[in-house]
Structure 1
Amino acid sequence: MKLVSAPFLLGLAAAALTVLLIWKYLGAPAVIVDAPAGKVHCVSYTPYRGSETPFNPDYKADPARIDEDLALLSNVTDCVRTYSVDQRLDQVVPIAEKHGLQVLLGIWIGRNDATNRMQIAQAVKLANAHKKTIKAIIVGNEVLLRGEQLPDDLVGYLKEVKAATGLPVTYADVTDFWVKAPPELAQAVDFVTIHILPYWENDPTSAQEGVNYLRRVLEEVGPMFPGKDIFIGETGFPSAGRERAEAVPSVISQARYLRDLAAYAQATGLDYNLIEAFDQPWKRALEGTAGGHWGVFTTDRQAKFPWTGPVSNHPRWQLEGYASFVLAFLILFVVARAGGQPDSLGGLAAGIGAGVAGSALLLQAEHSWIVWRSGLEAIAELVVFAQSLGIVIFVLPELVRGRRCLAPLPVGQTLAWLRSPNRATLGMPLYLGLVHLLAVFSALVVSLGLSFDARYRDFPLAAFGLASISLGLLALNRGDHKRRPEDRPEEAVLAALFIATGCTIAFNEGPQNVNAMVWVLLNFLFALPWLGILVGAVRNTFFKRAATAEA
């Protein structure tokens, strides 16, 4: 395809229109209920940034950064909740006092009684010095959930802190463990603190239904604790991460749930604390992408959404669209230089494909940026991105050739070349085979993880959608599905694995998880060119066994 030709110019126009439509859709603002005027009741605060983590025994909080954070938070709330008093986190209390904030002071209770005693002693000293600033003391967070203490031990800690400070005390845990706890625990607290997180519940709930779910839980749990007020110690919704049933993390979802919650709390007098002030990257190692994206503010202290007016998942969609169009132009340039000579209809198809591919590459890069949690994962993301570039450089130009396209080297021959590289084999079939093998291997690794350990794993649709469709079309164009199974045993095995993992994911996730169903479709697209080979292999095996049995 010549750079100055009708097919190329038509493709360029088609790419521009495709990119515009994609990003206009992705960036469309949602009109949701405005939050009532005023500040949110309270927000969880921890100062960790970047690679900082509470699991680093040498970490010490910087008072200047705490001061900076609390100055910002004082604009949106009058209260912060903490979880510990070590690592210099006790400094939060006097700095909060300076900014006119009250503190729900957290004492971290774990397995080690000596460490617990140190936490309690430091918290008691702090509380007695700042009684007007400390709203209440939370003695332990989800200790029963983690199985690190017995309820009787917590009762002892609560009574000790209450006697030493005279301040209100409480214990925080998810609803199930409060319900199962002996009545002595509720009797030892001044109010019951429960965590309600619609996204993480065993039956995940969408942001649209989140507040209704919270209301139902309160109606069920409230009567179980007569004479005790219920405080929502943690609630919120992540702005990024894997879809869980109908719970889809996004900026719009987070804004919708938090605004609905603020309106509901104002109407009912409910007291609550949001999880959390700032995104915490360290949580991604424990809870996947979603774990690091519960903050009202990003890690660089930027508000994620306004509390009134429309909200967009991609507020800078015009800029992202321009970047995608540049990528689409480069893709068309690569296709044109490869020498394909499509007609006008082919140029139009190439343009649409380039627009989709350019947008997918940008979405993949954005997703990779927020999901990697370690150096090893960063390398894995770079490998997958290299695979996508391989699709653009080698596969898309071949698709433009239509029936004249070259076929990827079979998997068996590609593996043989990797074991014993031979310069004589260098050429487009080998390059296509290597890209195909990398894409298939990467996709299978993801699918196996999603089949057996899915809770914290994302569905990387942008990273593999382009590969599955492009490679499938290329193989079908060459008639690979008609190959004899005895010549392609590796493809039969891979097709079987894709089908098996796809069925497992569909069964585990259910049809309500749209992202999961799309990933299952991608699995089947990877297997599609080899279905004939798989069927032939199964038929041959069956007939061979039948013939052996008859003999």
Structure 2
Amino acid sequence: MPSSVPSSLNGWWSDYKSEIGFLGFSYAVDACQSPETLNSEFKNIRTQFNGRYVRLYGACDQNGFYDDVIDAAWNAGLGVHALIWFGFDGDDMWMTRRDSLFSTLHNNPKAKFVTRAVQFGSEPLFDHVLPPDELAAQVTAAKQSLSSLSIPVTVSDMAYGYQSNGGAQSVLDAVDFVDLHMLPFFSTTATTAFDSWVFVQNDLDWINSHVNGKKIILSENGWPSMQSGSTRSSSPTAVADVQQEQAYFDLLDSKCQELKSNPGGGVAWFAHLYSEEQGAGYGILDNGQLKFPFSPKTSC
């Protein structure tokens, strides 16, 4: 990062075509991490893993928290995919989170130089939080609000979330790019991570056929290392262990050229999640230590 905040975004962000392979981590913020923790872990994402972004997951409603995220990302040289979290309670708290985030984006001078995108999520279509046309209207309004900051807006959901809402074409038309959840472990026919490419390809094919060449990023993306509670597959043949978690990311690496050739500048991906403390079964780190060797490709 420069020593002072630039006066313009011209030439600031890389082209989507250069953003392929591993982008960084989904990073759960329910713990409202301290500035010290954010600085330490964001720098680790940048230096140990060559991460370029963090994709926020969950919500911290503590006043000023996103300012802390911005400072930590700036210090680490990372971009942020911010999130308007709907949660699972069916309340209207997401509106307060939206307004708070937009206020910070407009008032923090570093915000537009750190915030690569704003997402509505997680899985609002699958959870039927809003009808598709209402969600599309929220995306359009957000794009208008953030237009002076040149921050793209998207929705973080599964292909099935769209499919279960008649395709939700109004949402796909509204988003600037596609944040696609890729969790093949939950397929009714899941077996092992190594054999999950057909599922990945089918979802990509469906999305590609409905978005007219928009960029696709796999946002909530991974294979769990254990089955329990929310990480239990509906397939009796699905295998969950550390080897499978590693094998899924190895699979994406092995398909780097195929993902790179996808329309819209190629498919890039996040790993879900940074640590076990943020979501048991999905973390790459556990008590600060790698669960398995992890140095994914950032180009090919």
TM-score (norm 2): 0.75
Aligned twin of 2:79: 102
Using the TM superposition, give the Cα deviation of residue 278 of structure 1 relative to its aligned residue in structure 2, in angstroms: 0.8
Would the alpha carbon gap of residues 72 and 185 (structure 1) be closer, same or farther in structure 2, given more than 3 Å must change?
Answer: same
| Match among 281, 286, 290 for residue 293 of structure 1 | 281
Using the TM superposition, give the Cα deviation of residue 164 of structure 1 relative to its aligned residue in structure 2, in angstroms: 1.3
2:242 alignment partner AA:
V
2:72 alignment partner AA:
I
Using the TM superposition, give the Cα deviation of residue 109 of structure 1 relative to its aligned residue in structure 2, in angstroms: 2.6
Give the distance between the partners of 1:98 and 1:39, measured in 2 at CA.
23
Aligned twin of 1:304: 291
Contact 1:198 1:214 in 2 (8 A): yes
Would the alpha carbon gap of residues 199 and 151 (structure 1) be closer, same or farther in structure 2, given more than 3 Å must change?
Answer: same
Aligned twin of 1:122: 100
Would the alpha carbon gap of residues 85 and 125 (structure 1) be closer, same or farther in structure 2, given more than 3 Å must change?
Answer: farther
Deviations 1:4-56 (A, max 9, x none): xxxxxxxxxxxxxxxxxxxxxxxxxxxxxxxxxx9821210025xxxxxx4xx
Aligned twin of 2:240: 249
Would the alpha carbon gap of residues 135 and 266 (structure 1) be closer, same or farther in structure 2, given more than 3 Å must change?
Answer: farther
Question: Aligned pair 1:158/2:139, yes or no?
Answer: yes
Give the distance between the partners of 1:181 and 1:86, measured in 2 at CA.
32
- Count of matched residue positions in the alignment of Structure 1 and Structure 2: 250
Higher strand share: 2
Identity of aligned residues (%): 24
Give the distance between the partners of 1:106 and 1:293, measured in 2 at CA.
22
Question: Aligned pair 1:172/2:160, yes or no?
Answer: no
Would the alpha carbon gap of residues 268 and 173 (structure 1) be closer, same or farther in structure 2, given more than 3 Å must change?
Answer: closer
Contact 1:206 1:247 in 2 (8 A): yes
Aligned twin of 1:41: 23
Instruction: Summarize the alignment of residues 368-383 of structure 1 with structure 2, pairs less than 5 Å apart.
Output: none
Residue 61 of structure 1: SS of its match in structure 2?
coil
Question: Aligned pair 1:196/2:182, yes or no?
Answer: yes
2:289 alignment partner AA:
Q
Unaligned runs of 5+ in 1: 1-37, 48-53, 284-291, 309-551
Give the distance between the partners of 1:247 and 1:60, measured in 2 at CA.
33
Give the distance between the partners of 2:254 and 2:105, measured in 1 at CA.
32
Residue 22 of structure 2: SS of its match in structure 1?
coil
Question: Aligned pair 1:149/2:151, yes or no?
Answer: no
Give the distance between the partners of 1:70 and 1:163, measured in 2 at CA.
30
Deviations 1:82-103 (A, max 9, x none): 1335236412222111100111
Aligned twin of 2:115: 134
Q: Whose radius of gyration is greater, 1 or 2?
A: 1
Would the alpha carbon gap of residues 168 and 227 (structure 1) be closer, same or farther in structure 2, given more than 3 Å must change?
Answer: same
Residue 145 of structure 1: SS of its match in structure 2?
coil
Using the TM superposition, give the Cα deviation of residue 158 of structure 1 relative to its aligned residue in structure 2, in angstroms: 1.1
Contact 1:198 1:206 in 2 (8 A): no
Deviations 1:110-134 (A, max 9, x none): 5333x22221122112333311211
Give the distance between the partners of 2:207 and 2:21, measured in 1 at CA.
27
| Match among 225, 242, 249 for residue 258 of structure 1 | 249
Contact 2:121 2:155 in 1 (8 A): yes
Residue 82 of structure 1: SS of its match in structure 2?
strand
Aligned twin of 2:3: none
Question: Aligned pair 1:93/2:70, yes or no?
Answer: yes
Using the TM superposition, give the Cα deviation of residue 145 of structure 1 relative to its aligned residue in structure 2, in angstroms: 1.8
Deviations 1:427-453 (A, max 9, x none): xxxxxxxxxxxxxxxxxxxxxxxxxxx
Residue 135 of structure 2: SS of its match in structure 1?
helix
Give the distance between the partners of 1:293 and 1:240, measured in 2 at CA.
5
Unaligned runs of 5+ in 2: 1-19, 261-266, 296-300
Residue 228 of structure 1: SS of its match in structure 2?
coil
Residue 149 of structure 1: SS of its match in structure 2?
coil
Deviations 1:44-75 (A, max 9, x none): 0025xxxxxx4xxxx64322122222122112
Give the distance between the partners of 2:36 and 2:145, measured in 1 at CA.
30
| Match among 91, 115, 122 for residue 112 of structure 1 | 91
Aligned twin of 2:13: none
2:45 alignment partner AA:
L
| Match among 226, 246, 263 for residue 240 of structure 1 | 226
Aligned twin of 1:78: 52
2:86 alignment partner AA:
I
Give the distance between the partners of 1:80 and 1:247, measured in 2 at CA.
29
Give the distance between the partners of 1:182 and 1:126, measured in 2 at CA.
30
Give the distance between the partners of 1:82 and 1:69, measured in 2 at CA.
13
Question: Aligned pair 1:65/2:31, yes or no?
Answer: no
Give the distance between the partners of 1:265 and 1:39, measured in 2 at CA.
6
Higher helix share: 1
Give the distance between the partners of 2:273 and 2:39, measured in 1 at CA.
17
Give the distance between the partners of 1:39 and 1:127, measured in 2 at CA.
28
Aligned twin of 1:277: 274
Aligned twin of 2:6: none
